[in-house]
Amino acid sequence: MMSNRNLDLVMTQEEDLEGAVRLASDLIDLLPFSGQKSHPLQKRAWPRTGVFDAQGDEIVGIPPEVERLCEAIVTCLIADICFDMQTLSAAIAPLLKGDCASARLH
């Protein structure tokens, strides 16, 4: 049987994770992505329309590069370590607006 203290620790860890995911998503939403949001009322930057991969195919859903960026930010936040947003966001540069591809969030 789990003690109240252990249950509180689990709840705190879950809350910390949820908070870190929210913050990471908020940071990613600040980036100037190409295309438009799929729905004008959606809160998050992804999914989008009018964004194409290197082969010229339209990206459907959330690109794996964006998911990996979110995971990397969450990992740093949970571990309470500093991170360089410019370095972490380098992999998504092709998804940013043409003039902004080199102007990553930092």
Question: Which pLDDT tens digit goes with each residue over 48-74?
Answer: 999 999 899 999 999 999 999 999 999
Q: How far apart are CA 47 and CA 42, in angstroms?
A: 9
| Widest CA span in the chain | 57
Residue 52, domain extent? 4-100
Structural domains in the chain (count) = 1
Give domain status of residue 105, yes or no: no
Listed residue (45, 47, 49, 41) closest to 63, CA to CA: 47
More confident residue, 54 or 100: 54
Give domain status of residue 106, yes or no: no
pTM of the model: 0.79
> Crossing angle of helices 4-29/64-79, nearest 10°?
130
